[in-house]
Amino acid sequence: MAAQASFDITSTVDLQEVDNAVNQAKKEVAQRYDFKGSKSEIDFRRGENLIILSADDDFKLQALWEILQGRLVRRSVPVKNLKLGDKEQATGATVRRTLTLQQGIPTETSRAIVKFLKDHKLKKVQAAIQADQVRVSSASKDDLQTAIRLLKDEDFEIELQFGNYRG
């Protein structure tokens, strides 16, 4: 009998890259003319996986988000893993928005991935949820490559990373 080959599906955000992107965005905001004299701020709370944007009005808040998003994309941080909170009024007539960094695959998404693989009826491909990741295994490496290709084409609303391949 052939040995089982497997790989893990994860979804993580490199917090150091997020920190670098936030610092670059702060520098850009400090230099931009349209932000001179405004109360615009980007606060990264690493331990809580939160980024808090605050600005004078909705227009500046949106501009702040666009600056940060551009910096995150340039540093290869998956923007899909950021969950935008609602705009809320803050102190001093400012508005605030909280962004949550998604680390790991949520349980509901893990179940959707397992169901997706079962629905495609790949021969002897098995998926198992392991905490915040999914392990996919099969006797056939070709079936695993097909599974990866299918998963890359599907949108699960988070960035999927494939690693720990064992053949």
CATH number for the domain spanning 149: value is: 3.30.70.860
Q: Which domain holds residue 114?
A: 5-12+105-166
Does residue 122 carry a pLDDT above 90? Answer: no
- Residue 109 one-letter amino acid: T
Which alpha helices (H) appear in the chain, and where do they start and end? 15-31, 58-74, 107-119, 141-153
User: How far, in Å, CA of 144 to CA of 8, rounded?
Assistant: 11
Residues 97, 135: one domain?
no
Residues 31, 97: one domain?
yes
Q: pLDDT band at residue 35, thresholds of 50, 70 and 90?
A: confident
The answer to whether the beta carbons of residues 135 and 6 sit under 8 Å apart is yes
User: What would the two tokens of residue 144 be?
Assistant: 């695993």
Q: What is the pLDDT of residue 2?
A: 56
Residues 74, 97: one domain?
yes
Q: pLDDT band at residue 72, thresholds of 50, 70 and 90?
A: very high
User: How far, in Å, CA of 139 to CA of 154, rounded?
Assistant: 23
User: Taking all residues of the chain, what is their mean pLDDT, rounded to a whole number?
Assistant: 89
Residues 24, 54: one domain?
yes
Q: What is the pLDDT of residue 1?
A: 45
The answer to whether the beta carbons of residues 75 and 25 sit under 8 Å apart is no
The answer to whether the beta carbons of residues 52 and 96 sit under 8 Å apart is yes
